Structure 1
Amino acid sequence: MSSTELTVGKAVDWAFAGNVGAWLARPGPAATDYTRNQAIDELAVAARKAEAPVREVTRMGGDAPVPEARIVDRAGWIRAASDSMRVMTGGTDQPSNPITGRVTGAQTGAVLAFISSGILGQYDPFAEGDDGGLLLLVYPNVIAVERQLRVSPSDFRLWVCLHEVTHRVQFSANPWLAQHMSQALGVLTSDAAEDVTQMVARLAEFVKKRRAGDDGPNDAGILGFMRAVQSEPQRAALDQLLVLGTLLEGHADHVMDAVGPAVVPSVQSIRNRFDQRRQRKQPPLQRLLRALLGVDAKLSQYTRGKKFVDHVVDRVGMDRFNTVWTSPQTLPLPEEIEDPQQWIDRVL
């Protein structure tokens, strides 16, 4: 772990971030104790039940033990997320500067509080769990969405678990993925230690291209601004993370649909209503926050990644598709996500 990474981690009071985020988090939907307990119990069972069909479809996981999921509320997810971010950045329980640590902690907590109402589940490869990671399921959000979509609660809970358990299988079957992600994150958060004039020059070039309308499909909005102030290694690391995220999310969406009605009877109805929800227009403030936090970019990852996985699996089958998990060199390149045949020609 680099000294810069340690500096980043020690600049935030992560415990304070978790506490602030938990305090700011909106309450979950109104529900009786019976409904909450039923959701918690059913999600725990669904996480175990999802493992077999996920392993069957992905051809990964083998006979490895099935770890238990942790069922949490929004505050629980926030505290788990802040703790994971502390581990990722090499942080400690005590920030290097208590005052600035609390300021940055409060800012981080506020962001986590905003995100917490939209997270259904998450596999955290950096948390300390039975398989090197931890599967979290946020039961208030699951209850809220299944009510909003008016779908079968049992089917929806299993459907959500299929997606998140796929992420668990991806990382547990391919341990190098977490290290690859960690290295890219380290580069992305590092200080390039370059002359400020170089950064200003890149920013000016970005503005110039924007005005000329010559900024390309991947350089719009906040993503374009990030690229403008990044060094070349940081841009490459960002591309690695974007491509990996697109592959992971698309693969999980493919698995959710591939298990079919034999496992989730109302899968098609859930998929249709969930996709409609993803495309729903948001109020202006919500749209701004979503853009700044990259929420819409993540939603794009589901669609683009699933198209990539669907195409390759349709052409060569799941066993040959799994070559993608061999090493960093077999992951798709940014242009190959849009043109899966290029990946097939290069790797297979």
Structure 2
Amino acid sequence: MNLIDWDFAVTVGSKVAGPGPEVSADEAAAAVVELREGAARSTPLVSEFTGLRTTAGTAPVLVVDRSGWLQANADGFAKILTPIVDKLTEKKGAPSGLSAAIGSRVTGAEVGLLLGFLGSKVLGQFDPFHDPHGRLLLVAPNIVHVEREISADPSDFRLWVCLHEETHRVQFTANPWLGDHLMAQMNAVADTIEPSALLDGLRRGAEAIRGGNASVVDIVSSPEQKEILDRVTGVMSLLEGHADVVMDGVGPSVIPSVAQIRTKFNQRRQGVGTLDKLLRRLLGLDAKMAQYRDGAVFVRHVVDKVGMEQFNAVWTGPETLPSKDEIGDPDAWVARVL
């Protein structure tokens, strides 16, 4: 069963995202070099601050354009959704002609529109599902666009972005079980899916989106799936908050204008314009911003209370990860784990 035409999604997404800001060939080449150097420079800085150790070069660093990011994410989503598609194919309750009813090309266009919007925003991303050890993507056009938009020093801003994204690379490569754990959650979602319920959810979702009352994640989740998503939310809040704490902890020692960058970037995170805010809401990006905020509060509280070395017990295995509730109550995590 082919629910999504991924090639068409990339084509549509590339048109929606556009090429990005105008830069000369020399400027583009210089940005690529500086981002690669920034990622390499960030590795020991992140390791020293966090105490997490990883072998250099375990996961490659790729500096990509918007189309490159779109293709990488289409490949990643295709892999993640494979168990769900397989379950839909296997289950006897799947309505006949499901693929024809939805239309892989239509869903490809819809996914392409969403990826295109995100592809013009994302600065960097660690892909933990790319074999064998993941890969780090730095989206050069978007980084250049934002540094110009907030009038940041280019070298400072690029290193600042690298610190955050390199923290994600270190998180996963120092703790290889993390990627397996997240993939297991995707498989668990697949186990809960019933084709008829999925279609009903999509129908309800269309109405909710038109009314602006829910995000994409909210509208297709059964109680079992919400429980899984709560576990994933706890993990993602930890990862994003930890990366924010690292960039704020390391930044002042190596980035002269870090305070100005943080202030301007936080303002930008709120979104600009009604359409942008609506799309952020529908895509669940408001929740993403909450993950940065709540996760950072969790990490700072625990580290202030017990120190970084004891905090690092969080990376022991799935059982020591904070739940969604514990992200909001870090003392509960300390009591349970430490």
TM range (shorter): 0.7 to 0.9
Q: CA-to-partner distance for each residue in 1:140-165, whole Å, 9 max, x for gaps?
A: 11011111111111111011011111
User: How far apart, in 2, do the equivalents of 1:222 and 1:342 lie?
Assistant: 30
Structure 1 equivalent of residue 169 of structure 2? 168
What is the identity, as a one-letter code, of the residue corresponding to 1:73? D
| TM-superposed deviation, 1:97 | 5.3
Q: CA-to-partner distance for each residue in 1:217-246, whole Å, 9 max, x for gaps?
A: xxx9425x8557633321111101111111
Structure 1 equivalent of residue 282 of structure 2? 292
Label 1:293 to 1:227 Cα distance change in 2 as closer, same or farther (>3 A). closer
Q: Within the alignment, does 1:265 sit opposite 2:265 as a pair?
A: no
What is the identity, as a one-letter code, of the residue corresponding to 2:14? A
* Structure 2 residues without counterparts, runs of 5 or longer: 90-97
TM-score normalised to the size of structure 2? 0.85
What is the identity, as a one-letter code, of the residue corresponding to 1:171? F
User: How far apart, in 2, do the equivalents of 1:189 and 1:115 lie?
Assistant: 25
Check conservation: 1:47, 1:68, Cα contact below 8 A. Answer: no
Q: Within the alignment, does 1:102 sit opposite 2:93 as a pair?
A: no
Q: CA-to-partner distance for each residue in 1:301-347, whole Å, 9 max, x for gaps?
A: 11111011011111111111111111221111222111211111111
| TM-superposed deviation, 1:62 | 4.1
Q: CA-to-partner distance for each residue in 1:117-154, whole Å, 9 max, x for gaps?
A: 110000001123xx611111111110111111111111
What is the identity, as a one-letter code, of the residue corresponding to 2:321? L
Check conservation: 1:250, 1:301, Cα contact below 8 A. Answer: yes
Check conservation: 2:302, 2:311, Cα contact below 8 A. Answer: yes
Calculate the aligned-residue CA RMSD, in Å: 2.7
User: How far apart, in 2, do the equivalents of 1:342 and 1:309 lie?
Assistant: 13
Q: Of 113, 119, 122, which aligns to 1:119?
A: 122
User: How far apart, in 2, do the equivalents of 1:78 and 1:45 lie?
Assistant: 23
User: How far apart, in 1, do the equivalents of 2:180 and 2:58 lie?
Assistant: 22
Structure 1 equivalent of residue 319 of structure 2? 329
Label 1:69 to 1:229 Cα distance change in 2 as closer, same or farther (>3 A). closer
What secondary structure sits across from 2:252 in the alignment? coil
Matches within 5 A, 1:1-348: 10-65=2-57, 67-90=59-82, 100-128=103-131, 132-190=133-191, 192-193=193-194, 221-222=213-214, 230-280=221-271, 282-348=272-338
Q: CA-to-partner distance for each residue in 1:235-264, whole Å, 9 max, x for gaps?
A: 111101111111110000000011142222
Check conservation: 1:149, 1:273, Cα contact below 8 A. Answer: yes
What is the identity, as a one-letter code, of the residue corresponding to 2:245? H
TM-score normalised to the size of structure 1? 0.83
Label 1:321 to 1:90 Cα distance change in 2 as closer, same or farther (>3 A). same
Check conservation: 2:160, 2:251, Cα contact below 8 A. Answer: no
Check conservation: 1:60, 1:173, Cα contact below 8 A. Answer: yes
Label 1:72 to 1:38 Cα distance change in 2 as closer, same or farther (>3 A). same
How many residue pairs are counted as aligned between the two chains?
315
Check conservation: 1:17, 1:106, Cα contact below 8 A. Answer: yes
What secondary structure sits across from 2:253 in the alignment? coil
| TM-superposed deviation, 1:170 | 0.8
Label 1:48 to 1:86 Cα distance change in 2 as closer, same or farther (>3 A). same
> Which sits farther off after the overlay, 20-29 or 155-164?
20-29
Higher relative contact order (CA 8 A, sep 6+): 2
What is the identity, as a one-letter code, of the residue corresponding to 2:233? L
| TM-superposed deviation, 1:187 | 3.0
Q: CA-to-partner distance for each residue in 1:18-41, whole Å, 9 max, x for gaps?
A: 222123322311222221111111
Check conservation: 1:22, 1:76, Cα contact below 8 A. Answer: no
Label 1:194 to 1:136 Cα distance change in 2 as closer, same or farther (>3 A). closer
What is the identity, as a one-letter code, of the residue corresponding to 1:78? L
User: How far apart, in 1, do the equivalents of 2:309 and 2:165 lie?
Assistant: 21
User: How far apart, in 2, do the equivalents of 1:42 and 1:70 lie?
Assistant: 12
User: How far apart, in 1, do the equivalents of 2:120 and 2:195 lie?
Assistant: 39
Q: CA-to-partner distance for each residue in 1:85-129, whole Å, 9 max, x for gaps?
A: 11112289xx9958922222121111100111110000001123x
Label 1:15 to 1:226 Cα distance change in 2 as closer, same or farther (>3 A). closer
Label 1:108 to 1:311 Cα distance change in 2 as closer, same or farther (>3 A). same
User: How far apart, in 2, do the equivalents of 1:172 and 1:106 lie?
Assistant: 34
* Structure 1 residues without counterparts, runs of 5 or longer: 1-6, 208-219
> Which sits farther off after the overlay, 116-125 or 322-331?
322-331
Label 1:226 to 1:68 Cα distance change in 2 as closer, same or farther (>3 A). closer
| TM-superposed deviation, 1:283 | 2.2
Check conservation: 1:222, 1:291, Cα contact below 8 A. Answer: yes
User: How far apart, in 1, do the equivalents of 2:196 and 2:40 lie?
Assistant: 52
